[in-house]
Chains A and B, each alone.
Chain A
């Protein structure tokens, strides 16, 4: 039986749309997987030595255990947003004589092979091996490693429950909020006892039994959950969400663009995929932390300019590059309705501008790194509004990949908008601001660089109508191709 399942899976994998793409993209994807896997292994390998050097007084394993809880929470969050639920096409199997238990076991077993489980493996396996070479007791290390893996898989199964059941989701979310606020208001730091718990896990190897039981328990809960709902309207159905109606009539003041803007807000709010993008763009806000905290980059302001673009441009870049694709599911309707293309584009433009403005407000804490840095972020925001929006919209015109709005993007199968043209378009988005800053900086001084960057944005704004007209022309020209591409079944 398993053989049949595997055969089906293989066909699904081989015939999936992302494999039908060009060889170059396949290679790039493969390299990306290698790259991220490699990074995880590398970090796992040097983690011991890094910690030893940074905190000579504390045993690295203790340090890791103390902060393990954050990793676990991070993983839970990432999985909640990114990991797809294992819905093997179960419908056709329901009426075929296969034991339900077999199907469910297979379904759950399959999730073990999820990419997300391997991140932990790649991280902690090298770390454990290093520990062994450093002469740590074998039993403790091996059982600790197994315990971590069991926790990892527990998260895997927990995620399924969180996604499927609102009670579990709200339960876990409220526990998290309580823990974080307790810690934030310095009432009680729950991470300390948890750290002790993990250390206990290491010191008393037989405690490894607990995560193991936890994992088995969660597996069983999942199993029963699916078993109980093994009907078309049960666990395998898509969750039908109650409508979250919000009154957006205050947006009517935007005049002829209002219907589109309202629609876009609803689109982002009510669909899994754009929500994912929204979350990702929020993470971009922290991009500056990587660059501004390192002295190396202090002397390379061109890189700081690069980072500043990302701080305010997260949403602009990730949402904007897929602009017509967001509406791919009903593009034919838009094209035959009474809609001037210009308004459609302009509303998208406003959306991106608002997003940059909001990000800019949120980025004010960067003042901490000094006014020079903050000035750079401000100049970057102007560039984003005045030029990057148009470059991104132009890039969107060349992008004809349909998007399934309410399906989360899979890790590494997200090749939407990932093609050579997109890469070419991505270049000016990143290199142009660097040049705009760097040349006046080299020739005159730092402030001249800032002014040039900011001014480029202002000039872009002045020529807004010209740019939008040009972009509209390009969209009009590609109309039939875009319609045909969007109506292709994925």
Chain B
């Protein structure tokens, strides 16, 4: 689904990301871990054509990301709160995204009804603007908005941070379900090794912009990761 070749990004001659080859097949749940400054968000930004690669390219379903916009209809993402429109209510925001993705109100409502437990009665029907919600609730709204419109690729940056334990567990189920049952390619980054190993079939470790590990998740993965990061 996603093919990366010779991708690198430098700022003023300092390289922050350098990935020679990376293939993410359709329907894989893909985890990205690394310390601060490892290049996770840079990679996701390149994937969404928010920054320009210094060298190389990314292909999303055979579309060259930095040349064509044709990847947009089947790709959705939530990177940070700047993806939310602060002066809308959660419903208005969902319907807006729905309209952009060619879904009508009832389509969106049908999708939202699956996430009532996820929202915990704190988001829908609250008569509050998104900018007035707490960080955690903002994140929930952003993540659910990324699921609208049957995307084939979903990119979530640090989805577990700021979430309460109940929602973390529910989110893990959602992501697993998306990848296994619906064949959606899910890309997730996290600082929480436990969550990533729970959710992802494959985990890539970045360090200073380089890929240092590429693991197929197994029983031993968590241990291996913990060892890696304790040195």
Contacts and interface: CB of A to CB of B under 8 A. Distances in A.
A487 interface: yes
B82 A332 contact: yes
A149 to B, nearest CB: 39
Interface in A347-361: none
Interface stretch (B13-21, B126-134, B163-171): B126-134
Interface residues of A, number: 30
B214 to A, nearest CB: 26
A266 B92 contact: yes
Interface string B9-29: 000000000000000000000
Contacts of B77: 336
Interface residues of B, number: 33
Contacts of A480: 50-52
B96 A263 contact: yes
B86 A259 contact: no
A224 interface: no
A333 B128 CA distance: 21
Contact of A243 (B83, B100, B129): B129
Interface string A254-298: 000011001100110011000000000000000000000000000
A333 B92 CA distance: 15
A406 B89 CA distance: 15
Nearest to B74: A338
B61 to A, nearest CB: 14
For B48, B82, B87, the residue with the greatest tally of chain A CB atoms inside 10 Å of its CB is B87
A289 B132 CA distance: 42
B84 A336 contact: no
B111 interface: no
A483 B51 contact: yes
Contacts of B52: 480
Contacts of B72: 336-339
For A332, A333, A405, A406, the residue with the greatest tally of chain B CB atoms inside 10 Å of its CB is A333
Contact of A332 (B76, B83, B88): B83
B49 A335 contact: yes
A405 B86 contact: yes
A2 interface: no
A284 to B, nearest CB: 25
Given A338-B101, A339-B72, 16 more contacts: A240-B132, A241-B129, A258-B99, A262-B96, A263-B85, A267-B87, A270-B129, A271-B87, A330-B85, A332-B83, A336-B72, A337-B97, A338-B100, A406-B131, A480-B51, A484-B51
A271 B86 CA distance: 10
For B86, B89, B101, B128, the residue with the greatest tally of chain A CB atoms inside 10 Å of its CB is B86
Given A271-B87, A329-B82, A330-B86, A336 B129 contact: no
A154 to B, nearest CB: 32
Contacts of B149: 338
A333 B127 contact: no
A406 B52 CA distance: 31
A233 interface: no
Contacts of B99: 258-259
Contacts of A483: 50-51
Interface string B89-104: 1001000110111100
B73 interface: yes
B79 interface: yes
Contact of B87 (A245, A266, A331, A336): A266
A151 B210 CA distance: 66
B82 A330 contact: yes
